[in-house]
């Protein structure tokens, strides 16, 4: 009876079960093909172990994205609820669309920032991503803000013609998340290190049912 070989390289003996391909693979292929040719589920034991090693190597960005946008600590404290709610929406979107990667999260956030910067100048234009899953990311977060506006108008907490959240605050929140995603981005084609970070940060979001966005509007 021939010996079982790694399901990826077909050369070495397999030492671990890979939930991404539902087969046995060798440690070498696990390391080289992880999030490259294999869609690794976020709860994979070996993936989570690699995340811990990667976290130890995280360094400051050589150049800050959107360096003209200031995101002070005071803003992060005051808008913690909004930033957390956006993060949970991104995570929930990934749970419902597991093939979404960090690259597509970054693309969606980039276009959202562009849209709201344009809107801040008085021009209303949706700068949609060119296509693919990034469009879904964009629409997910755009819908989130639309729900907030709808909620505020229904409750009568803002006057007609005004917005519940200032465009500048929306931009700062999106830029902060873009920077955070960039720090965690591992440049693998199917990388989801930022999404793994959100999963660890908001564990209750995994089991919680999807609800309409609710923020306390001051």
Regarding whether 113 and 100 lie in a shared domain, the answer is yes
- Using CA atoms, how far apart are residues 42 and 61, in angstroms rounded to an integer? 24
Q: Give me the percent of the chain exceeding a pLDDT of 90.
A: 73
CA dihedral 188, 87, 67, 162 (to 10 degrees): 140
Please state which of the ranges 85-89, 114-118, 127-131, 214-218 shows the lowest mean pLDDT. Answer: 214-218
CB atoms within 10 A of CB 129: 18
Read off the pLDDT band of 156 (50, 70, 90): low
- Using CA atoms, how far apart are residues 29 and 33, in angstroms rounded to an integer? 5
Phi, psi torsion values for 183, nearest 5 degrees = -60, -40
Regarding whether 44 and 4 lie in a shared domain, the answer is yes
Among residues 98, 64, 91, 54, which one has the least CA distance to residue 186?
54
Q: Write down the pLDDT at residue 214.
A: 53
Regarding whether 91 and 21 lie in a shared domain, the answer is no
Bridge partners of residue 17, in order along the sequence: 24
Q: What is the pTM for the complete model shown? A: 0.87
Q: Please check whether residue 88 lies inside any domain of the structure.
A: yes
Side-chain-side CA neighbours of 193 within 13 Å: the count stands at 23
Read off the pLDDT band of 38 (50, 70, 90): very high
Domain interval for residue 96: 68-207
Q: Please check whether residue 199 lies inside any domain of the structure.
A: yes
Q: How many independent structural domains does the chain possess?
A: 2
Regarding whether 87 and 52 lie in a shared domain, the answer is no
Regarding whether 79 and 3 lie in a shared domain, the answer is no
- Using CA atoms, how far apart are residues 29 and 153, in angstroms rounded to an integer? 54
Regarding whether 132 and 92 lie in a shared domain, the answer is yes
Regarding whether 108 and 191 lie in a shared domain, the answer is yes
User: How large is the average pLDDT for residues 7-30?
Assistant: 96
Q: Give me the percent of the chain exceeding a pLDDT of 70.
A: 88
């Amino acid at each position: 009876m021939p010996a079982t070989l790694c399901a990826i390289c077909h050369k070495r003996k397999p030492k671990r079960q890979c939930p991404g391909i539902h087969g046995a693979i060798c440690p070498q292929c696990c390391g080289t093909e992880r999030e490259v040719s294999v869609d690794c589920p976020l709860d994979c034991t070996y993936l989570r172990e690699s995340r811990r090693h990667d976290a130890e190597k995280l360094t400051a960005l050589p150049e800050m994205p959107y360096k003209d946008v200031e995101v002070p600590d005071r803003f992060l404290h005051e808008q913690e609820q909004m930033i957390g709610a956006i993060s949970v929406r991104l995570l929930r979107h990934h749970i419902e669309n597991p093939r979404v990667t960090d690259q597509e999260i970054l693309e969606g956030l980039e276009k959202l920032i562009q849209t709201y910067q344009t809107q801040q100048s008085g021009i209303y234009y949706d700068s949609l991503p060119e296509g693919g899953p990034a469009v879904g990311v964009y629409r997910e977060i755009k819908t989130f803000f639309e729900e907030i506006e709808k909620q505020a108008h229904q409750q009568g907490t803002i006057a007609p013609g005004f917005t519940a959240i200032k465009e500048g605050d929306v931009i700062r929140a999106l830029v902060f998340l873009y920077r955070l995603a960039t720090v965690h981005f591992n440049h693998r084609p199917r990388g989801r290190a930022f999404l793994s970070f959100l999963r660890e940060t908001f564990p209750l979001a995994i089991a919680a049912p999807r609800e309409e966005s609710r923020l306390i509007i001051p």
